[in-house]
């Protein structure tokens, strides 16, 4: 029976000793006496016969050397040293400069936010949402087109906001005026309070403004005169006060207006687009008087406010 003995040299080298042959994973044959590192090692074992001495100088990058002894009578000496080679020189600074400038430029590029997303999130912060209908309005998502109740066009501009009958309470926010591509603002049948922001007059693409059946107060902002594409203006069922802005008569595309069930005062305009609206659009405003008498009663002085 052959006797096996394992001898460890250093921390990364091992010699396994049998009674006969040396198997060395190396492309060299015969007696080895070299100061050069044996690297790389081949995968085929090498038979060394009549070996007298073996001296190896290895790089620290070599992890193991396996020696197997069989039937060698004249083996007299073995020396093994580990040689440390200096690390490769660092790359020139000129080569690192473009990389450094690239990384620095990436750090200095500001993260741009989406103004429409910011406007919508300002509304979310301003209202209470007991039914969590705004739960998907995540400010970390730059594109608000992925949010529920928000509709966008092919260019990812917000064109529609559908939050009717959503049980929202709180105030409208002036940031809504930043939704410059908005066509439909549907916030009817909620519990919104406070004034209608004058900034809504900046929504020049707006077709429908539905704020009916809330608890909005103050007067109808005269800035709505800028909404030349407006077809539907429904503000009924609120607590609006003051006069109906006469400038609204210049909205040539206006098809429906309903300001009934408020606390408006003065006289009802009858010129321009208002000439086609019946008194049903203005009913249940106790302080609002009949149509202004063109040429007889000055609009500014008509009615009790």
Q: In terms of Cα–Cα distance, which of 139, 137, 158, 162 is closest to 149? A: 162
Q: Is the pLDDT of residue 282 over 80?
A: yes
Final residue of a structural domain among 62, 83, 104: 83
Least confident among 62-71, 194-203, 227-236: 62-71
Choice between 303 and 163, residue whose per-residue pLDDT is larger:
163
What mean pLDDT comes out for the span 83-89? 62
On whether residue 176 sits in a domain, the answer given is yes
For 179-223, the pLDDT digits (tens) are 999 999 999 999 999 999 999 999 999 999 999 999 999 999 999
Number of domains making up the chain: 2
Least confident among 78-92, 116-130, 226-240: 78-92
The residue range of the domain holding 278 is 115-301
Shared-domain flag, residues 48 and 141: no
Final residue of a structural domain among 83, 105, 140: 83
Classify the phi-psi angles of 119: left when phi > 0, otherwise alpha if psi is within -120 to 50, otherwise beta.
alpha
Q: Is the pLDDT of residue 55 over 50?
A: no
Choice between 82 and 185, residue whose per-residue pLDDT is larger:
185
Q: Is the pLDDT of residue 233 over 50?
A: yes
Shared-domain flag, residues 185 and 274: yes
User: Which among 111-120, 226-235, 282-291 has the top mean pLDDT?
Assistant: 226-235
Shared-domain flag, residues 277 and 155: yes
pLDDT interval class at 101 (50, 70, 90): low
On whether residue 127 sits in a domain, the answer given is yes
For 134-178, the pLDDT digits (tens) are 999 998 887 899 999 999 999 999 999 999 999 999 999 999 999
Cβ atoms of 261 and 286 closer than 8 Å: no
pTM reported for the whole predicted model: 0.63
On whether residue 101 sits in a domain, the answer given is no
Cα 65 from Cα 16, distance rounded (Å):
9
Shared-domain flag, residues 128 and 266: yes
Label the pairing between strands 47-48 and 53-59: unpaired
Tokens (6 digits) for 24: 């060395």
Shared-domain flag, residues 160 and 234: yes
- Give the contacts of 22 (CB within 8 A, at least 6 positions apart): 47, 48, 51, 54, 67, 68, 69, 70, 72
Cβ atoms of 235 and 216 closer than 8 Å: yes
Q: Is the pLDDT of residue 226 over 60?
A: yes
Whole-angstrom CA distances from 150 to 171, 176, 252, 268 are: 19, 13, 28, 35
Tokens (6 digits) for 3: 């006797």
Choice between 263 and 59, residue whose per-residue pLDDT is larger:
263
Shared-domain flag, residues 159 and 75: no
Instruction: State the SS3 of the chain.
Output: CCCCEEEEECCCEEEEECCECEECCCCCCCCCECCCCCCCCCCCCCEECCCCEEEEEEECCCCCCCCCCECCCCCCEEEEEEECCCCCCCCCHHHHHHHHHHHHHHHHCCCCCCHHHHHHHHHHHHEECCCCCCCCCCCCCCCHHHCCCEEECCCCCEEEEECCCCCCEEECCHHHHHCCCCCEEECCCCEEEECCCHHHHHCCCCCEEECCCCEECCCCCHHHHHCCCCCEEECCCCCCEECCCHHHHHCCCCCEEECCCCEEEEEECCCHHHHHCCHHHHCCCCEEEEECCCCCCCHHHCCCC
What mean pLDDT comes out for the span 60-87? 48
Shared-domain flag, residues 124 and 64: no
- Give the contacts of 4 (CB within 8 A, at least 6 positions apart): 16, 17, 18
What is the CATH number for 174? Answer: 3.80.10.10
């Amino acid at each position: 029976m052959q006797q096996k003995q394992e001898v460890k040299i250093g921390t990364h080298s091992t010699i396994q000793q049998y009674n006969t042959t040396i198997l060395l994973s190396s492309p060299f044959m015969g007696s080895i006496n070299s100061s050069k590192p044996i690297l790389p090692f081949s995968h085929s074992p090498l038979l060394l016969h009549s070996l007298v001495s073996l001296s190896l100088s290895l790089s620290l990058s070599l992890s193991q050397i396996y020696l197997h002894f069989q039937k060698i009578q004249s083996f007299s000496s073995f020396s093994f040293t580990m040689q440390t080679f200096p690390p490769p020189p660092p790359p020139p600074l000129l080569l690192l400069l473009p990389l450094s400038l690239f990384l620095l430029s990436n750090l200095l590029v500001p993260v741009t936010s989406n103004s429409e997303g910011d406007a919508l999130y300002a509304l979310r912060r301003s209202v209470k949402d007991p039914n969590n209908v705004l739960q998907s309005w995540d400010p970390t998502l730059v594109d608000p087109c992925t949010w529920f109740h928000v509709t966008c066009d092919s260019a990812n501009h917000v064109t529609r906001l559908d939050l009717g009958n959503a049980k929202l309470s709180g105030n409208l926010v002036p940031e809504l005026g930043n939704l410059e591509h908005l066509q439909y603002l549907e916030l009817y049948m909620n519990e919104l309070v406070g004034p209608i922001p004058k900034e809504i007059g900046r929504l020049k693409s707006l077709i429908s403004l539905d704020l009916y059946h809330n608890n909005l107060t103050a007067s109808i902002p005269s800035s709505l005169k800028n909404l030349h594409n407006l077809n539907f203006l429904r503000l009924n069922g609120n607590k609006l006060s003051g006069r109906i802005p006469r400038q609204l008569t210049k909205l040539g595309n206006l098809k429906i207006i309903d300001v009934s069930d408020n606390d408006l005062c003065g006289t009802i305009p009858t010129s321009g687009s208002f000439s086609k609206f019946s008194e049903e659009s203005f009913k249940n405003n106790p302080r609002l008087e009949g149509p202004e008498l063109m040429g007889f009663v000055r609009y500014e002085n008509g009615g009790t406010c």
